[in-house]
Chains A and B, each alone.
Chain A
Amino acid sequence: MQNRRDFLNLLCRGTLLTGLAAASGVLVYRSVKGGQCKLGTSCNNCQKSDSCNLPEADLFRQTVWQLDPKKCIQCGRCAENCVMTPSAVKATHVYAMCGYCDLCGGYLKPDTKTISTAAENQLCPTSAIKRKFVEDPFYQYTIDEALCIGCAKCVKGCSAFGNGSLQLQVRHDRCKNCNQCSIARNCPSEAFSRVPANKPYLLQGIESKDENRG
């Protein structure tokens, strides 16, 4: 009696172990080999497929969430849907694209009468954009990330009236890298995707930080 039970136990254990080994084998094999690019969804569908010789195409590696500013429609949901309060998505300023305008579409409300730093003139609900005089007629705009809630109001203003130097990005020092990003689930334009962790940012007008890192 005892022996029969032991044998059945052994049989079931063996089956489960084989099943686990097979499943992980399939997943590892798929990640390491296979004809097409494994990063089809992560590399923003570059379509290079086989010709891609990035090292990350061969390994399965950590991924992080990335927001594509091109797809973003500035709906403001990033401010509301992040598991963190305030959101880990913030406006990021690409200085290289900025026109340093006095009449900044991202800083000032469109109907404002006077150009000043008065709070009622500011587009930003938390006054997270700091305006600093550089030289006539240029002003530098800096984002205070601790205050920014990722509502995209400034992004909308800058892309409508300015150069589009303000862009939303997932800030990876704040992002908890949830298994399923809660903003991605609610994003209407599918602007979020999982990307290899060595290329976490995607900004217009700036090369990816890691191009030169190799």
Chain B
Amino acid sequence: MKKALALVLLVFLFAVQVMNSYGIQRFPKPEFESGYVQPETLMPDPRAEVLAIMDIAVLLVSLSVVSWLVLKKRSRNGVFWMSLFSLAYFGFYREGCVCAIGSIQNVTLALFDTSYIIPLSALIFFVTPLVYTLFFGRTFCAGVCPFGAMQDLVAFRPQKLGSKLNAVLGVIPYLYLGLAVLYAATGTDFIICRYDPFVGIWRLNASFGMFVFAGILLILGIFIARPYCRFLCPYGVLLNWSSRFSRRHLTITPSDCIQCRLCENSCPYDAIDIPVTVKNPEDKRTMARKLIFIIILIPVLIFAGGWTGSRLYESLAGVNAKVQLAKQIVSPPKDSNQPETFEIQAFKSSGKQQSLAFAEASAMLGKFYLGGWLLGGFMGLVFGGLIAGLMITKHHTDYIPNKGTCFSCARCIDYCPVKMP
């Protein structure tokens, strides 16, 4: 009888242990006689929330100062020192978080997932640079973004890439933006933060791969100025389009261009448009033919892109945790000696129904199917725009900064012999 009781007790204890290993006091709390004082469990506080307001203030002030330096003071020196300050503050002090580039994902997730509350600072870091750009051009890139400042420092021997190569490589940021939005909207991942190149340098702590990526970008950046900003940055896409409609923008010359060509090679980013003096290089018929071609081409490309994207949705969804879990449930490892994966273990101990996991995964796949169509269509539109842009020549007589790609770094200002009256 006693044996049986002991056995039952043992089984019970074992069951309790398996079911919930926490909250059971197997051993009573000791009663100390030596006057021992139990130490307190230390719980260090996170960064004070007030400091987030400081970040916002620094952002607003530095945006205003840089815009003033670019448009009113026309001072490259000032922009340079401001960019150093931003590198120190947003880069090395704040270690790259919070940042405008990553905030795209917070905004996207908040728009698609109502249970996610966006931190005020992330929202402001997303909106204010865009608003400033709509009024003053990309002054954010010039002296506030720590990514730009970092790469600006190493741009010693910038080479010209030519307008065609620039335009083709310039498509990559659109793809990066599209993927980032897709993965943020589905709550899968924040890929912009995950593949952030410089955050490891600012923290002085990162994986080997991250340091290699940063090193490659910085070495490349000696010859191709600001490679991340021009050919990767997804926020740059939004700034580019905002800047095209900006109210004011950096001008190379304070009054009239005298066509001296001194500024021609001053821009490390190939962002100065050289004059196109011939008004209509082609006759009306070829122009009309080109226009019709573009009008037909763009919808075709959008559809083709969307179709391609929709074929790829399963591979796109492959990294989603819910989809991965369902896959692992469906096809367990063939080798029975192999231990269960942690995912399966956790799933079993959570007591969730298999059907629920499958339902979640198929809903996710549905989202990715739609997302694949949208992403593909978007890329089709971007390619269409690229081809149209390469076919159309715009007539202008002076050396002017390209409002889309100009970072407002103000280097060209120093090269212009025309000074303020």
Residues of A within 8 A of B (CB): 9, 12-13, 16-17, 20, 23-24, 26-28, 30-31, 34, 38-42, 60-64, 69-71, 73, 75, 77, 83-85, 92-97, 99-101, 134-135, 138, 140, 142, 159-164, 167, 169, 171-173, 175-180, 182, 185, 188-190, 194, 197-198, 200-201, 203-206, 209
Contact = CB atoms under 8 A, between A and B. Distances in A.
Given A38-B115, A189-B346, A182 B46 contact: no
B297 to A, nearest CB: 23
Interface stretch (B18-26, B60-68, B283-291): B18-26
B184 to A, nearest CB: 9
22 contacts: A61-B120, A62-B46, A62-B49, A62-B52, A62-B119, A62-B121, A71-B346, A73-B345, A75-B345, A77-B342, A83-B200, A92-B43, A95-B41, A99-B28, A160-B17, A162-B27, A163-B25, A178-B97, A198-B49, A200-B45, A203-B41, A204-B22
B22 A171 contact: no
A13 to B, nearest CB: 4
Interface centre among A27, A96, A163, by most chain B C-beta atoms within 10 angstroms, is: A27
Interface string B330-361: 00000000000111011101100000000000
B315 interface: no
Interface stretch (B102-110, B144-152, B383-391): B102-110
A185 B241 CA distance: 32
Contact of A23 (B47, B107, B120, B343): B107
B27 A209 contact: no
Nearest to A164: B22
A98 to B, nearest CB: 8
B117 A93 contact: no
A189 B325 CA distance: 11
Contacts of B282: none
A172 B45 contact: yes
Contact of A101 (B27, B116, B120, B193): B27
Contacts of A97: 25, 29
Given A92-B41, A93-B41, A134-B32, A39 B117 contact: yes
Interface in B196-222: 199-200, 203, 205-207
B246 interface: yes
B111 interface: yes
**Chain A at the B interface: mostly helix, strand, loop or mixed?**
loop
A203 B371 CA distance: 39
A135 B131 contact: no
B44 A173 contact: yes
Contacts of B203: 83-84, 176
B421 interface: no
A95 B110 contact: no
Contacts of B45: 172-173, 200
Nearest to B350: A189
Interface string B231-268: 00000000001101111000000000000000000000
A207 to B, nearest CB: 11
A135 B32 contact: yes
